[in-house]
Structure 1
Amino acid sequence: MRPLDASQLQRLRRRRRIRAGEPIALWLRVAGLAVALYLVLPTLFVIPMSWGEATTFVFPPRGFTFRLYENFFTDPRWIGSLGHSILVATLASALATVVGTAAALGLNRLRGKVVGYLRAILMVPIVTPSIVIATSIYISFLMWGLVGTLTGYVLAHAAIATPFVIVSVTSALGTFDPRLLRAAASLGASPLRAFTTVTLPLISRGVATGAVLAFVTSFDEVVIALFIRAPDFQTLPVQMYNSVTVEIDPTVAASSSLIVTTVSIVLLVGMVVGFTRRRS
C-alpha cells in the first residue's frame, strides 16, 4: 500500500473525530429544523411579493415586475434613508469598535471581583428592553440638543453596539498569551507599538467580528431611531416601519429582499473564504 500524504491523514483524522462524536438526538434535529423554518419562512413570502404587480401586500404575487425595486432606487425617501443607515452604521461601528476593544483590553488586565461587576454594567444595553433605552436616550438628547442629528444617531447606536464588541474581543483575548507583551517590552517596544504589532494582529478576528456585529446592530435598530428621528433624517428601518404601519407601501418588500440577499451573500462569501483557508 502507498503511504498516505499529510492532507489524506488530516482528512482521515477528521472523519474519525466526527464518527467518534455523540450522535445528535432525533428531537434535537427536529427542533433545529423547526427553528430554521421559522426563521426562513418569512423570507419565502417577502421575496416573491417584491416581484408582484399589486399596489398592496398580496400573496401569492400577481404578475411579475421589478417596479418595486425601481421605486426603491428612484424614490428619494427610500434611497436617502438607505444612505443615512449606511452612514450611521459605519460611524457607529467604528466608534463602538474602538471603545469596545479598549474596554475589553482594560478588563482583561484587571483582577479581582470588580471585573465581574464592570462586565455586568457594560452588558446592560444587551439585556435592557429597547423601549427603556430609547426613552432614556430621548430625554437626555432633548437636553443636549442631539435629537434628529447625525451625532445623536451615532452616539446612541454606538452605545448599544459596544457590548457586542466587548464580548467578541474578550473571547479573542482568552487565547492571547500575555508573555508576548513582556517579550516585546524586553526588546524595547513601547506599549503602543506592542499593541499594534503583537496584540492587534492576534485578536484581529475578534475585533473584525465585533465590528461586523456593531454594524449590523446599528443598521437594524429601529426603536431608538423612531424616538430620535427628524423629518429630514431617518434611517431605513424607520422608513420600512412607516411603510408598513402608516403608508402601506409594498416597496418595503423590495427593500427587505435587498437586505436579506446582500447579508446572505456577504455571510456565504465569508464562510467560503474561511473554509478555503482551513482547507489550505
Structure 2
Amino acid sequence: MAAAAPVSRAPAGGFEELFVPSSMGPIKVQVQWAARGGSSALYLLDGLRAPADHSQWTTDTDALRQFAGDDVTLVFPVGGHSSFYTDWYRPSSTNQQATTYRWETFLTRELPDFLAGYGVSRTNNAIVGVSMGGNAALTLAAHHRDQFRFAGSFSGFLNPTYPIWNHAMRAAMLHEGGFNIDDMWGAAGDPAWSRNDATVQAERLRGLPVYVTSGNGVPGPLDLPSAVGDTINAAGIEAFAVIAASIFRDRTAALGIPARVDFGNGTHTWPYWQLSLATARPMILDALGAQ
C-alpha cells in the first residue's frame, strides 16, 4: 500500500491501494487500472455494512476479473459505513462520530481531482452501487452530470422520501453502527431528503444511460441453502428494494426517460449483484467508449 505520487498517465493494468486526502481524513481507495492506460473510470459503491478496510466488491464479487481486459479503471472507495455516500449536516450524535461524513464531496471533487494526477478523467466516469450505494449512485449522477456518463443501482432504495421508509432507514442505521439519521439529512421533510431521492431527482437523469435491477425477495439459485437465516433476512430487505425499483420505473416511464429496469427472482446478496454488474458491463463500456 502506498500513498499516490501523481503521474501523467495511468498505469496499464494492475491493482493498487491508494490513500486519498479528504475533509474526512485519508480515505483508502482500491483501484484496478485500465488495461491499456485509458482515462475512463467506473466507481463502485458498497452497501450499508461497508467495511473499513476493503471494498466488498473486491472480495464478494468477481468485478476485478470481469473488467480485467477492459480499458477502464475500477475505483473502489473504502468505508462509508451507514453513510449513504452523502454529505451529512453534522457528525452522528448517537455514536460519538469524530468527523462529519462528506462522501458526496469526496466522490465528486476530492477523489476525481486526486485521480486526475494519474491521468484518470474527471468527466468520463460511470458509477454503480448496491443497496445503500444504489440510490447514491443515481443521485450523485443526477447532481453531477459533468462527471458521470452512466449510473446503475442494484437493489437500491430509490425512494427514501416514501412515507414509511425514513423509519426503516433510521432503524437500519442505528443497527449498523449506531448512526443517527437526523444528523444526515435532518428530520423527514427536510430538503436534503428530496435532494437525495433518486425517484424525486429522476428528471435530472434524462439523457443518461441508467440501469436498475432488483430481485423480488424470492430465493433463487444463487442463495446458499446452508444460510437459511441470512436468506430470510435478505429476502425481506429485497422485498422493499423491489418496491423502490418499481416506483422508480413508473416515475421514469411517466417522464419519458428510457431507464432500463430489470426484475427477477433473488434476494439482497452479493451473488445477484455480481450478475447485475456482468449485465451492466457492456452498457458501461459503451457509455464510456472504453473497450
Q: Structures share a fold, TM > 0.5? A: no
Higher strand proportion (structure 1 or 2): 2
Larger radius of gyration: 1
Q: What TM-score do you get using the length of structure 1 for normalisation? A: 0.23
Q: What TM-score do you get using the length of structure 2 for normalisation? A: 0.22
Higher helix proportion (structure 1 or 2): 1
